[in-house]
A and B are shown apart, each in its own frame.
Chain A
Amino acid sequence: MTLKLNLHTQPDVPLEADCICPDRMQSLSNSEIEELIIFHGNRQVPLKDFFECTGESDGEIVINGDLSKIKHIGSVMSFGKITINGDVGVHTGAAMSGGEIIIEGDASDWLGPEMLGGRITVKGNAGHMVGSGYRGSTIGMQGGEIIVHGNVKNETGHVMRRGLIVVGGNTGDFTGVNMVAGTIIVLGEMGIRTGAGMKRGSIICQTKSELLPTFTKSCVYQPSFLRHYFRYLKSIGLAIDDALMNSPFERWCGDSIELNRGEILLYAGK
């Protein structure tokens, strides 16, 4: 049976609720779950001050309400599933290594920072720093998948090392900045300075984009591996035009201020 958490009181200041995670709630009774400590600003309070707890914990948690002021939901999660019926605050899924988080609304900044595995799906939009490393970190996302159906803001995949980020809409500036490896797919448009400082990794975009002068065009070709990605994205509900499967892409190499082993693939079909 699913554990249900209903937000009954909107916090005045953000809540830090990293205890909302299958790893922490598994095998606890509802009364024990309600006594788990969260931070309301700088004060420690029990979870029950803000959430009503029903159902039973079996690894699946459903959270209802406007959670845009709730931070760190699903942090270091390693298994199970969290479904958020609404918007969610910052640091959702931080350093998670397994399981799945589904956000029916929008996600705030720092979605899945330094993620290791698992999958986060956002049905709406997400903020800045999706799948990024924290400031000062040299390695960000190291595995797993982040699928955002809508738009995202700046610095998506900052210092990303491994894994997949898919954006169904547009990205802001500095997509894949300082990227080390991994794959970012943007089905809409990208902002400026895409891939700045990237060492390796792939940024794929369905539209043309103005790139930094430190990127060099290699060729126009049909990358076989992209068919796998597009087929996969289609299977998880993203709108992929069949024509895309056999379309040519421009391959740009960069960033030459770094290793120059990264690539930006831009759709060249139109």
Chain B
Amino acid sequence: MKIKSTEVVDTFAEAFRMFGSRIIITAETKEWAMAAAQSITGFATSVIGCKCEAGIEKLINADESPDLRPGVSVLIFAMDAESLGKRLMERIGQCVMTCPTTACYNGLDEGTPVIVGGQLRYFGDGYQISKVLGGNKHWRIPVMDGEFLIDDKFNVQEAVGGGNLLILGKNQKATLRAASAATKAIRDLTDIILPFPNGVVRSGSKVGSRYKSLIASTNHLYCPTLRGAIEHSELDDGINSVLEIVIDGLTLESVETAMRVGISAAAKPGIKKISAGNYGGGLGQYHIHLHQLLASKDWSGEI
């Protein structure tokens, strides 16, 4: 199957069941809200090394935010609900509570509640105050610029992590341009994040390594510098650069939509193939077939 001159490989992305949460960070200005959001989503590219994956979902206008101040919506994913609760507490405590003027709210209406503010309140050393309004409990923790306001509980829900696209280009410049176009288009969507730097990862990994202490290592089959040194390289002659876009979403539908939008935007001149990463289908709970995405009624692009 081709989109213009780009071949879409008949393969699938192997995605995993994760747990996700949405947090809303507000502050006196958009800049301070963004500062906290960038901090809380730092060092959160992959559960392999960071214990969670996180990213900025969208900006929130003051008139739509819980406390009528500018805000940022952040999604955080981990492999289980308990672990996600711990990550929320650590990251909100270190990255949001520390940021001037911020407040932090649960952004999911449904899901399993985990106690976050109810743990962070102890930072208040007994001077914290709880308030209940409309059934929602907040904590007011005294800090040096006033008070840090945080919801007692945050909801976590089952989610999908590891949706991905591999963009195989004739050179680095064309591949980077296509990846940027794809991430730009995907970022207009909600319920998803792209956890890697600027949404793109160059060090795609495979499971395992020849070194026993490592659980993952470079995806050598997609490394262009190794094409002449290994057997079964996935790269044809003329493919000199590969970039990957990893997508985590609150639902399978949101990940599929993001992949579809990404394929459409990345199919540019200089891109030989668009593929996806999988582990043979034996690890991930979700198999997202690229050709099925394009055959869907939601696909409006040219094939």
Chain A residues proximal to chain B, CB less than 8 Å: 162, 164, 183, 200, 202, 221-225, 227-229, 231-232, 245, 261, 263
Contacts and interface: CB of A to CB of B under 8 A. Distances in A.
B71 to A, nearest CB: 12
Nearest to B127: A261
B153 interface: no
Contacts of B131: 183, 202, 225
Nearest to A183: B131
Question: How would you classify the secondary structure of chain B's contact residues: helix, strand, loop or mixed?
Answer: strand
B67 A162 contact: no
Question: How would you classify the secondary structure of chain A's contact residues: helix, strand, loop or mixed?
Answer: mixed
Nearest to B66: A228
A222 B145 CA distance: 10
Contact of A228 (B127, B129, B138, B146): B138
B226 interface: no
A224 B134 contact: no
A221 B143 CA distance: 12
A84 to B, nearest CB: 24
Nearest to A224: B149
Contacts of A183: 131
B103 interface: yes
Contacts, number: 40
Give the size category of B's interface with A.
Answer: 10 to 19
A224 B133 contact: no
Given A202-B129, A221-B146, A222-B146, A227 B134 contact: no
A223 B69 CA distance: 13
19 contacts: A164-B133, A183-B131, A221-B146, A221-B147, A223-B140, A223-B146, A223-B147, A224-B67, A224-B147, A224-B149, A225-B140, A227-B67, A227-B69, A228-B66, A228-B138, A229-B133, A231-B67, A245-B68, A261-B127
A225 B68 contact: no
Interface in B45-70: 66-69
A74 to B, nearest CB: 21
A245 B26 CA distance: 14
Residue with the greatest number of chain B CB neighbours at <10 A, chosen from A183, A223, A228, A261: A228
A53 B147 CA distance: 53
